[in-house]
Amino acid sequence: MRIVEFDYKPEFASTMGIDHTHQTGIIAQEVKELLPSAVKEVGDVSCSDGEKIHNFLMVDKEQIFMENVGAVQQLSKLTDNLETRIKELEVWNCRLAKLKSLTGSLRSTGKPRKHSSVSMMSSPDACKTGTAQKKGWSHKYSHCLQHKVFQASVFTLLATMAFCIISITVLYLINLKVEDAEDFPGYSNNSVFPLQTTAWTSTVPPTSQPGPWPPDVDFCELLYCDHMYCCTPPRGVSTDSSNTLTELAKVEKSNLTERRKEKFQLKLKRASDWTNTTIHTFIIKENQQVIDSKYCLRDECGPGRYTYRVPISQFVPLNMRVTLLMNSTELLVVHLCSFDESEACTAMLDMNTVTGIRYPSDTQGEHEWPLHVSRLYRSSYHFRSAVAGKADCSTNHNYAGALFTDYHFYFYRRCTDL
């Protein structure tokens, strides 16, 4: 995999909430050919200038990091084995060098004797001289043969080592795929670390027709979407919802690193009696639309804290009921810690329907929250899910992920024409 430097387009960076356009990383298409499980398809992405990116791919850098750690461990083992083999080869090379020098000295001391014997020998002894020469040639041939045998042994050893390295690499990749297949469904409630949330794996099949990203909450399957109800923003309120929501999502982010360290320690201490406090799925009850990872803000989706940015379609009537349904695998209590419905639509200000509305402080068993987001230009809600009696809205935020899970929802009216 190549390491490259690249710059995001300003339109794409503003849409995805990226502060620094210059990045260093890897190409998702190249990673998908080598490790498909580390690349996720998030569908089509629309930039602020109207340009559309089809079938956008996202790289899971954490998985690539862990696989690099495993590869380094395997290479470290291979390096140790190679060092041992090289030392053995050096010992054998020294022994062969000593043997070669010994045979050379014996050959040099035997030559004068042969010449003197030739000068003093009579014709009947000529056959003895031929026999000695044949022995000398046979000795040279055996020495050359030994050298070739040594070369062949070294070559065979290197080929065997190369085959072993290839086999280990193949087995390691197969083992990674098997582990990914086993770990993909999730962990049980007895595991040390809690689930991120199953909302990440709950995806809506992409539609064939291109549309805004993330998809709007609409009721076109229930109502005729032939009339637009564009909500006029209140006076003095900026129409740039992305900047405002991004600033709201950065609240408490300065302490995020320290909170994660403390949560990691708490998870280890409470692993024996820990209860999963994450919400399994979020669904708009009226149209069964799933609010999943497509609506998550960058770096604001777990563990312990999730932030969703949900656009309301321009075809949703101002008096339409929108109910947020929360499903959990455990028996939890969902607290509404805070909400902001101050930015009402200008057309609704005279009706005085937004003020005076009260929400329950929490829900148990069935978690249904009828929200008044259709009447508002922008609104925000802070929910906290926990086990009954163990945490509420006043619990210290350092226990996020261990005793409770926070969910922040930001709804805003998205209109193409005002």
pLDDT tens, residue by residue, 65-74: 888 888 898 8
Say if residue 348's pLDDT is above 60: no
Last residue of a domain, which of 35, 59, 83? 59
Q: Is residue 30 part of a domain?
A: yes
Last residue of a domain, which of 38, 59, 80? 59
Exposure b/e, 174-187, CB count within 10 A at least 16 = b: eebeeeeeeeeeee
Q: What does the pLDDT read at residue 208?
A: 44
Give the domain extent around 383: 269-348+359-414
Question: For the ranges 68-82, 181-195, 259-273, which has the lowest average pLDDT?
Answer: 181-195
Q: What does the pLDDT read at residue 249?
A: 46
pLDDT confidence bin for 282, thresholds 50/70/90: very high
Q: What does the pLDDT read at residue 133?
A: 61
Q: Is residue 407 part of a domain?
A: yes
Q: Is residue 371 part of a domain?
A: yes
Tell me the pLDDT tens digit for each residue of 216-266: 888 887 777 777 777 767 666 555 544 544 444 454 444 555 566 555 545
Say if residue 349's pLDDT is above 80: no
Q: Is residue 136 part of a domain?
A: no
Q: Is residue 275 part of a domain?
A: yes
Tell me the pLDDT tens digit for each residue of 382-399: 999 998 888 899 998 888
Last residue of a domain, which of 20, 42, 59? 59
| Mean pLDDT value across residues 187-211 | 41
Say if residue 323's pLDDT is above 80: yes
Q: Is residue 296 part of a domain?
A: yes
Q: What does the pLDDT read at residue 25?
A: 84
Q: Is residue 144 part of a domain?
A: no
Q: Is residue 381 part of a domain?
A: yes
Tell me the pLDDT tens digit for each residue of 120-138: 444 445 445 556 666 666 7
- What's the total number of domains in the chain? 2
- Rounded distance between C-alpha atoms, residue 237 and residue 228, angstroms: 21
